[in-house]
Amino acid sequence: MPEHSEGMILAQGARVLVIRLGAVGDVVRALAAVGILRRKRPDVWIGWLVEKPSRLLLEDNPSVDEVFVFDRRGWRKAEGMLERWRWLMGANALRRRLRICGFDAVLDLQGTLKSATWALASGARRRVGFGRGWAREASWLFAHDGVRPGAAARSRLQQFVALVRAIGIEENPAPSSLQVTLPRLEDRREGISQWVSERGFDRKPWVMIYPGSSRSQEFKRWPAPRFAEVGRRLAARGVGVVIGWGPGEEELAREVEASCAGGAVLAPAGDLLDLAALLAATRAFIGNDSGPLHLAWAVGTPVVGIYGPTDPELNAPPGSSHRALYAGPPRRPGERRPRRPVYLDQIRAEDVEAAVVEVLGLSGAVGARA
């Protein structure tokens, strides 16, 4: 059973700080849970502490009143004592800004020592986070209320919702019914529509293949040659193929594009919201367990996710329009998946093609093709 403070109710006009610093996919899913708080209690003022890579998802977002940005990477980039001193001064200024806000509660949706330290530094009257067995790095010791979502909360989405319920929001929707509110994409969609039209994709179904992931999680990547094989197979069916990419992934994307033998094009450069607009226009997303996968789910695009080192039960988008391809032994409670792509080789290109064919409603058998 979830454990939380009995009868905790937010006062009218309460101020709540959400902490989910990164990564992009987790921020997207956290937005789904925070959206419940916004809908049920529109009087509550919501702040969000986040790192730079995900800030665009929160700025000008109707679910968030103010965004506080923590420049974690700035410390790594700092050269010399002077730059490090400036970084420390900036972090201290951020701490003062948080304390001035007078938060009634903080929701630590990250569950690490780093996020718990910021929860403490915020000065919030009540700190709500994951309990022992659910949080990492002994961060549960910093929380007034340690929430243990229970065995029924199998997905990350359900676990985030459990923390929102712990501050008195009595709603427990099915994961497939959750929705994500993003900043307005209308201006971005105009440029995307033109790009799609210029390539003839407005006259046929097209999909995005996204072979990358963050640098720290390259172990999640399915082999690039197999993404290229899927691209060739889909192009042979008359499906348009776009190769998506983000910072540090252009070389990988170009490798996959070139291996598609003219059957694919590279996605245009842009930021996270440009990517969201592009994903909203495509018929399906094909990729690893990554931020763009969850962003595709957020904009309502069917996802064909490829999982090996990570567990689809925990991470795959909910709903019947999505497909999860998984290779590996069953996950035991509390077990962490190996941080290497040891199982991904078991997933074949024809398996991914078959899932895409099903999602798109295409006819014709899936056979052995080059």
Output the pLDDT for position 215.
83
- Compute the average pLDDT of residues 316-339: 75
Using the predicted structure, report yes or no on whether residue 334 has a pLDDT greater than 60: no
Lowest mean pLDDT across 79-93, 140-154, 304-318: 79-93
- Mean pLDDT score of the chain: 90
Which residues contact residue 131 at a Cβ distance below 8 angstroms, ignoring those fewer than 6 apart?
3, 140, 143, 146, 147, 148
Using the predicted structure, report yes or no on whether residue 108 has a pLDDT greater than 70: yes
Using the predicted structure, report yes or no on whether residue 5 has a pLDDT greater than 60: no
User: Is the C-alpha dihedral spanning 193, 197, 199, 200 positive or negative?
Assistant: positive
Output the pLDDT for position 255.
97
- Compute the average pLDDT of residues 345-353: 94
Q: Which residue has the higher pLDDT, 168 or 79?
A: 168
Beta carbons of 17 and 116 less than 8 angstroms apart: no
pTM of the model: 0.91
CA distance linking residue 321 with residue 285, whole number of Å? 11
CA distance linking residue 234 with residue 283, whole number of Å? 13
Mind listing the domains of the chain with CATH numbers? 15-177 (3.40.50.2000), 186-360 (3.40.50.2000)
Output the pLDDT for position 76.
72
Using the predicted structure, report yes or no on whether residue 119 has a pLDDT greater than 90: yes
Hey, which residues does 129 pair with through a beta bridge?
108, 146
Beta carbons of 207 and 235 less than 8 angstroms apart: no
Question: How many angstroms separate the Cα of 142 from the Cα of each of 22, 117, 131, 188, 357?
Answer: 20, 8, 10, 41, 48
Neighbour tally for 327: CB within 10 Å: 18
CA distance linking residue 136 with residue 44, whole number of Å? 29
- Compute the average pLDDT of residues 322-333: 76
Burial of 204: CB neighbours in 10 Å, binned 0-12, 13-18, 19+: exposed
Cis peptide before 23 (omega within 30 of 0): yes
Element containing residue 312 per DSSP (H, E)? helix 312-315
Neighbour tally for 360: CB within 10 Å: 17
Query: Quick one: DSSP state of residue 11?
Result: P
- Compute the average pLDDT of residues 199-207: 93
Closest CA to 139 of 127, 151, 150: 127
Please, which pLDDT band fits residue 81 given cuts at 50, 70 and 90? confident
Which residues contact residue 11 at a Cβ distance below 8 angstroms, ignoring those fewer than 6 apart?
104
Please, which pLDDT band fits residue 82 given cuts at 50, 70 and 90? confident
3-state secondary structure of 193: helix
Using the predicted structure, report yes or no on whether residue 2 has a pLDDT greater than 50: no
- Compute the average pLDDT of residues 118-135: 95
Helices (H), 151-208: 156-165, 186-198
Using the predicted structure, report yes or no on whether residue 136 has a pLDDT greater than 70: yes
Q: What percent of the chain has pLDDT over 70?
A: 91
pLDDT digits (tens, 9 = 90+) for 285-317: 999 999 999 999 999 999 999 998 888 999 999
pLDDT digits (tens, 9 = 90+) for 243-259: 999 999 999 999 999 99
Element containing residue 120 per DSSP (H, E)? helix 113-121
Please, which pLDDT band fits residue 330 given cuts at 50, 70 and 90? low
Q: How many residues does the chain have?
A: 370
Question: DSSP per residue over 254-292, as a string?
Answer: HHHHHHTTTS-EEPPP--HHHHHHHHHHSSEEEEESSHH
- Compute the average pLDDT of residues 133-146: 93
Element containing residue 147 per DSSP (H, E)? strand 145-147
- Compute the average pLDDT of residues 68-84: 80
Output the pLDDT for position 281.
96
Output the pLDDT for position 180.
97
Residue 43 token pair: 């009087």
